[in-house]
Amino acid sequence: MGNKSAQSRVARMPGTLALVGGGEFHDGCDFDRQLLEASGGAEVLVVPAGAAFEHPDRLVTAAKAWFGSFGGRASAVPVLTRRDAMDIDHAAAVRGARFIYLAGESPMHLRSVLKDTPVWDTLVGAWQDGAVLAGSAAGAMVLTDPMVDPRGGAFTVGIGVVAPLAVVPHADTWSEDKLHRTQVLAPKATPVAGIDERTALVRSPEGQWEALGVGAVRVWLAGQPADLSSLP
């Protein structure tokens, strides 16, 4: 009984989680090699809903070229609208993936597409069973709760797999005034992570965080600088 219980706990250990600050699928994102290795395979499934209004085909083409450059194979599940996210065939494709990548620049649209849908439920289930889950820009924001509204830096409800945590992608392009406003508005118990482009904040299955990539990750808690140990 003891061995079976231990095996059950291991089987339900979440997979690696990567929150990327944008600029995905380009030189400098070498952390993707590590994520692909952690998945135990060569396949990456891109969910392009966050780019629904921004040429999602180009995003998928970039993913295929990028992962192909080091032996991976990227494909996409055609989830761009809420109707797509309700499709049980799309949900089945997500559930069977070992590396799922959310990308795009519209967090509000991505949240409205995925919230309370079979695709979201199977995405979370796959991650909880050990699949690698990555989100860049809008994807990173939606994977946390609360979610930063990029239009003004205030907060809204996320649907994240980790909480309390909020992320600011493209942090190297935000003004210090806007970053400061986000820090001040954050709930006191919620860490805020500013993640530069081509940079990833990565959480291991054991719950340890590290920053990878060409840029920096800055963390604030209750308006003050903090370190990665403050993250959930």
Q: Is 53 exposed, middle or buried (0-12, 13-18, 19+ CB in 10 A)?
A: exposed
| 180, two tokens | 């400061």
Query: Is residue 52 one of the residues assigned to a domain?
Result: yes
Q: Which alpha helices (H) appear in 12-142, and where do they start and end?
A: 31-39, 56-68, 82-85, 88-95, 107-114, 118-128, 138-142
Query: Is residue 5 one of the residues assigned to a domain?
Result: no
Q: How far apart are CA 84 and CA 120, in angstroms?
A: 11
What is the model's pLDDT at position 12? Answer: 62
Q: How far apart are CA 115 and CA 126, in angstroms?
A: 16
CATH number assigned to the domain comprising residue 155: 3.40.50.880
Residue 162's φ and ψ, nearest 5 degrees, are -130, 135
Query: Is residue 122 one of the residues assigned to a domain?
Result: yes
- What does each of the 232 residues of the chain score in pLDDT, given as a tens digit? 344 433 333 346 899 999 999 999 999 999 999 999 999 999 999 999 999 998 999 999 999 999 999 999 999 999 999 999 999 999 999 999 999 999 999 999 999 999 999 999 999 999 999 999 999 999 999 999 999 988 778 899 889 999 999 999 999 998 888 888 898 889 889 999 999 999 999 999 999 999 999 999 999 999 899 999 999 9
Kindly tell me the sign of the dihedral angle through the C-alpha atoms of 209, 170, 99, 163. positive
Q: How far apart are CA 196 and CA 203, in angstroms?
A: 16
Q: How far apart are CA 54 and CA 127, in angstroms?
A: 27
Query: Is residue 25 one of the residues assigned to a domain?
Result: yes
Lay out the sheet containing 17-20: strands in order across: 73-76, 43-50, 99-104, 132-136, 17-20, 199-203, 209-213
- How far CA 183 is from CA of 29, 137, 157, 158, 166, in Å, comes to 27, 18, 16, 17, 10
Query: Is residue 4 one of the residues assigned to a domain?
Result: no
Query: Is residue 3 one of the residues assigned to a domain?
Result: no
Q: Which alpha helices (H) appear in the chain, and where do they start and end?
A: 2-11, 31-39, 56-68, 82-85, 88-95, 107-114, 118-128, 138-142, 176-185
Q: How far apart are CA 55 and CA 140, in angstroms?
A: 19
Q: How far apart are CA 9 and CA 215, in angstroms?
A: 35
Q: Which amino acid is at 38?
A: A
Query: Is residue 2 one of the residues assigned to a domain?
Result: no
The total number of structural domains that make up the chain: 1
What is the model's pLDDT at position 36? Answer: 98
HSE of 95 in the Cβ direction (CA atoms, 13 Å)?
13
* Residue 122: domain span: 10-230
Q: Does an H or E element contain 226, and which? A: strand 224-226
Query: Is residue 1 one of the residues assigned to a domain?
Result: no
Q: How far apart are CA 120 and CA 13, in angstroms?
A: 18
